[in-house]
Structure 1
Amino acid sequence: MALIGPGNQSPTGLPAPPFDPELAVALAALDEESREPITPENLAARQERDATSRPRPTAEDLCADGRFEVTEFQVPGAPGAPAVTLVGARPSALAGRPLPLLYYLHGGGMVMGNAWSVLPRILREWALPLELAVVSVEYRLAPRARYPEPLEDCYAGLVWAAGHAGELGIDPDRIVIGGKSAGGGLAAALALLTRDRGGPVPLGQLLLCPMLDDRGATFSSHQMTGSGVWDLTSSTTGWQALLGDRRGAADLPPYAAPARATDLSGLPPAFIEVGSAEIYRDEDVAYANAIWQAGGQAELHVWPGACHGFDGLAPAAALTRAARETRTHWLQRLLTGPADSAPRR
């Protein structure tokens, strides 16, 4: 995939916003293999490469010399489904205190990623300073698991965590669901699903560059095609793996692709962030607007010049530091706010 600079056009001929200078340097340093789009033809090879190369810290690694208590749980899945693995962690110094919980769903386009790799950063940046517990979900990946199986894994884990709050040492009234990219889309879908099933009521939803719309028809999805590290080709491959022939169907339920939702009332407050130079920009902005139109609460950040996954690509960049601080401040305000601020049924 190509880089897009000031005044340049995407391969589709559409004028495109430039990347932040620090991010442009990081993108230029990537090898061609890292920029190669994911296609149906190379998907199996990319999944194999991801499984062997993506970090998978052990429970001992995550304990970080005793700073965290880490436990892996095997919990019941949906009826007829296999058990779901949850990785739970909390600051060791806060033993005996019921903590708020960040229930986190990893990214990876619905086809890659694992529950362990995301934890070191989350524990360092949020669990310690905000004094919260974290549960990361090892949901099944597409195409071996198709909708609704990954989402049902996430729902089963949420129900179990809320029902075993004492065992986890958490406050069941202060559960924030969150995720990045595909995980952000799953978190948005989970908020809709638990609302409609009368399940646990989240305190908030943290949606980081969420993958929300299977149709790939927004302006930004075409504007940014062929640039960055995740474009329309890769996104379409992920959606196709998850939905099969149902991708793009008129009757697709909102739990499969939250951008399809027509009722966004009664949802927990949302934090939504996205980059100005990535394909999910327009669908994420539209989702925040739809929440506002439904009378809900959403905080939207569009980071100028940010590409998809910019914080992992350039963790020391000024834009990344600003985004990290903004997310943390939102979580802090949410967790210290009135206990009755969450929607109740």
Structure 2
Amino acid sequence: MGISPVPFDPALGAVLAAMPRGDGPSPSVDAIPEMRDTASALPLPSVAEVIGDREIDVEERTIPGPAGAPDLDITVLRPRHLDAPAPGLYNIHGGGMISGHRDQDTPRLADLVEELGVIAVNAEYRLAPENPDPAPVEDCYAGVKWLSQNAAELGVDPRRIVVMGGSAGGGLSAGVALLARDRGGPFLAGQLLLCPMLDDTNTTPSSHQYDGIGTWQRAINIVGWQALLGDRAGDPAANVSVYAAPSRATDLSGLPPAFVEAGSAELFRDEDVEYASRIWQAGGQAELHIWQGAFHGFDIFAPDHEVTRAAKAARLSWLRRVLGLGHPTAPRPS
């Protein structure tokens, strides 16, 4: 497809150019273990290092997974002085369905806990290809259901729970929201979808524009979907679950309010715009932000850039509104 990519913001492009580029294996399902080893060699701050002297308590727990499946590891981040039930965030990490660890999102969550006084549950889930669909989304749904059922013990208001995540975690969050709607619960006050991975077909213009450039590129995205779905990935005639690939859902009505964010210079841009648009077309609530010149995961790799500050402010504003925070007279979600 002969289309030119949207250029990166000059400052973000400089960040991208300075990022280390290893001589790792070419993307393939068989190479996933080696790619994970390469990624795990990069330094990841511990939870204790991220929290430092902040007024946040940390608890590591193990909770039940789906019926017949292994238990799930979670980290609970809680404001130290909490007098009343607080909103809850259930976070699902990224990694293309094939890699990643919950600790990579601790900085994002610690900031939200500190700023908003919420309780965050940061969760693991089984990865593909060892655990293909439906294992990842069923793990995430089981974890959100556990959070709702154990809200009182955790100090969480069960009517103010938001499911959230970036990249694959955003796609899984969208899948959880669809599952919660179709299974009659648990209640979700919102879904915070940060550059979500939604479409296994890889047919949008932006999915072609970022073939070989950017942080998350077309080739590795195709591998992630193949690991999750096998031969069904990318086949429009295949029986692919809408909970695994939410872009395939024909009915987006009845969903909790959505916040959808992406960069203009990343391959998920068009599928994310379409998802928000289809929520509106179904009469639902969605807030869409496309950040000019931003690449996939810009807020992680360029935390001090102006577009990152703007994106974080937009997320905070949406969370305050959907959770009824900051306005004592505002009604809570019902």
Where on the TM-score scale, by shorter chain, does this alignment land: which range? over 0.9
Indicate which of 158, 180, 184 corresponds to 1:194. 180
2:25 and 2:319 map into 1 onto residues whose CA distance is: 35
SS at match of 1:289: helix
Name 1:105's counterpart in structure 2.
Answer: 92
Indicate which of 214, 224, 235 corresponds to 1:228. 214
SS at match of 1:183: helix
Structure 1 pair 179–34 and aligned structure 2 pair: CA distance change class (3 A):
farther
In the TM superposition, residue 97 of structure 1 has moved relative to its aligned partner by: 2.0
1:239 and 1:132 map into 2 onto residues whose CA distance is: 33
Alignment of 1:1-345 (within 5 A): 13-33=2-22, 38-55=27-44, 57-58=46-47, 60-61=48-49, 63-65=51-53, 67-94=55-82, 96-124=83-111, 126-249=112-235, 250=237, 251-336=239-324, 339=331, 341=333
- Partner amino acid for 2:9? D
Tell me the number of residue pairs that the alignment of Structure 1 and Structure 2 aligns.
328
Kept after mapping to 1: 8 A contact 2:323/2:332: no
Kept after mapping to 2: 8 A contact 1:173/1:203: yes
1:144 and 1:339 map into 2 onto residues whose CA distance is: 45
In the TM superposition, residue 341 of structure 1 has moved relative to its aligned partner by: 3.9
SS at match of 2:283: coil
Q: Which moved more, 1:253-262 or 1:70-79?
A: 70-79
Kept after mapping to 1: 8 A contact 2:25/2:35: no
In the TM superposition, residue 266 of structure 1 has moved relative to its aligned partner by: 0.6
Kept after mapping to 1: 8 A contact 2:160/2:333: no
CA displacement 1:16-38 (0-9 Å, x = unmatched): 21101110100111222289863
Structure 1 unmatched ranges of 5 or more: 1-11
CA displacement 1:163-187 (0-9 Å, x = unmatched): 1111111100000111000000000
CA displacement 1:187-218 (0-9 Å, x = unmatched): 00000001101121110000000000001011
Q: Which moved more, 1:152-161 or 1:34-43?
A: 34-43
In the TM superposition, residue 85 of structure 1 has moved relative to its aligned partner by: 1.2
With structure 2 as the length reference, what TM-score do the two structures score? 0.93
Kept after mapping to 1: 8 A contact 2:177/2:191: yes
In the TM superposition, residue 43 of structure 1 has moved relative to its aligned partner by: 2.0
CA displacement 1:21-70 (0-9 Å, x = unmatched): 11010011122228986333532211122234352624x44553362111
In the TM superposition, residue 311 of structure 1 has moved relative to its aligned partner by: 1.0
Structure 1 pair 234–67 and aligned structure 2 pair: CA distance change class (3 A):
same
Structure 1 pair 188–37 and aligned structure 2 pair: CA distance change class (3 A):
farther
- Partner amino acid for 2:265? A
CA displacement 1:203-257 (0-9 Å, x = unmatched): 0000000000001011110122111111110100111111112212422120110
Structure 2 unmatched ranges of 5 or more: none
1:74 and 1:258 map into 2 onto residues whose CA distance is: 28
Kept after mapping to 2: 8 A contact 1:51/1:112: no
1:158 and 1:54 map into 2 onto residues whose CA distance is: 29
How much identity, in percent, do the aligned residues show?
49
1:148 and 1:237 map into 2 onto residues whose CA distance is: 17
